[in-house]
Amino acid sequence: GEDVEQSLFLSVREGDSSVINCTYTDSSSTYLYWYKQEPGAGLQLLTYIFSNMDMKQDQRLTVLLNKKDKHLSLRIADTQTGDSAIYFCAESISGANNLFFGTGTRLTVIP
Amino acid sequence: DAGVIQSPRHEVTEMGQEVTLRCKPISGHDYLFWYRQTMMRGLELLIYFNNNVPIDDSGMPEDRFSAKMPNASFSTLKIQPSEPRDSAVYFCASSPRRRLNTEAFFGQGTRLTVV
């Protein structure tokens, strides 16, 4: 079955880089996503990567995908206090119409 | 488009009462999802619809929960009777028809408190 795992908490100092990790079990993933949830708000898509890519960069965000190890990471460079939020990884699977979400990682940025 | 719209944003009700949560998906999206978020269980998929038809309701916790989608622009999630353990944030999301990329767009959520 589909199992997406993340660590629950991460704290970093402002200006440092943050790396949020995610592992998944289904090898038929087609797209993998990172969503951000700010306090009191819904989930917003940050970025996504197609499963045949191994890296995608978008300004301060870098997504790395190791398909062999089924490992996905999100690196945020120069982390700001406004980056404090819960970050969810999710996967879509060939033949399925819904996304499978991880538990979310709560990122706290210390000024 | 205004995005996925949910109402109410907050709901406080007494145990045993009926609760109805509402969702308006993004126009043109073929899929609609209901999720529940709690501290203990994270984000759980309750049910999803394709073209107004329920496809997978295996995440609905009990018979007290029901969901309908009478047309392409409206869905409801009903809890009757409500219990304190139903307290959570309920999200609605919609997604366009795509073969491989199933990006979902989320509403702001309804925070339900059952006392």
Q: What is the pLDDT of residue A9?
A: 94
pLDDT by position in tens, chain A (length 111): 468 899 889 999 999 999 999 999 887 888 899 999 998 889 999 999 998 899 999 999 999 999 999 999 999 999 999 999 999 999 887 767 778 889 899 999 999
- Mean local confidence (pLDDT), B90-103: 80
Q: State the best of A5, A32, A36, A43 to mutate against chain B, taking most chain B CBs within 10 Å.
A: A43
pLDDT band at B104 (very low <50, low <70, confident <90, very high): confident
- Mean local confidence (pLDDT), B63-90: 97
Q: What is the pLDDT of residue A27?
A: 78
pLDDT band at B92 (very low <50, low <70, confident <90, very high): very high
- Mean local confidence (pLDDT), B81-108: 87
B99 pLDDT above the threshold of 80: no
Report how far residue A78's alpha carbon sits from residue A88's, in angstroms, rounded to the nearest whole number: 20
Residue A62 distance to chain B (closest CA, Å):
19
CA angle A41, A20, A90 (to 5 degrees): 60
- Chain A hits for B31, CB-CB cut-off 8 Å, are 97-98
C-alpha of A96 from chain center? 20
Place of tokens 């994270």: B42
Contact present, A98 and A88 (Cβ < 8 Å): no
Q: What is the pLDDT of residue A95?
A: 67
- Chain A hits for B109, CB-CB cut-off 8 Å, are 41-42
A104 and B CB contact within 8 Å: yes
Q: What is the pLDDT of residue B11?
A: 97
Q: Which of B29, B36, B51 is nearest to B96 (CA)?
A: B29
Give A71's contacts (C-beta < 8 A, 6+ positions apart): A21, A22, A23, A65
Amino acid (one-letter) located at B20: T
Report how far residue B13's alpha carbon sits from residue B63's, in angstroms, rounded to the nearest whole number: 19
State whether the Cα torsion A76-A43-B41-A109 is positive or negative.
positive
B100 pLDDT above the threshold of 80: no
Contact present, B28 and B3 (Cβ < 8 Å): no
B77 pLDDT above the threshold of 90: yes
Place of tokens 């009757």: B80
Tokens of A17: 């880089």
Q: What is the pLDDT of residue B98?
A: 66
pLDDT band at B69 (very low <50, low <70, confident <90, very high): very high
Nearest CA in chain A to B111: A40
Contact present, A105 and A93 (Cβ < 8 Å): no
Report how far residue B68's alpha carbon sits from residue B70's, in angstroms, rounded to the nearest whole number: 6
Interval B11-39: pLDDT, tens: 999 999 999 999 999 999 999 999 999 98
Q: What is the pLDDT of residue A28?
A: 81
Tokens of A93: 């699977």
Q: Give the torsion through C-alpha atoms of B44, B38, B107, A81, to 10 deg.
A: -120
A6 and B CB contact within 8 Å: no
Q: Which of A26, A111, A106 is nearest to A72 (CA)?
A: A26
Report how far residue B53's alpha carbon sits from residue B31's, in angstroms, rounded to the nearest whole number: 9
CB-nearest to A99 from B102, B107, B109 is: B102
> Which 3 state secondary structure label does DSSP give A80?
coil
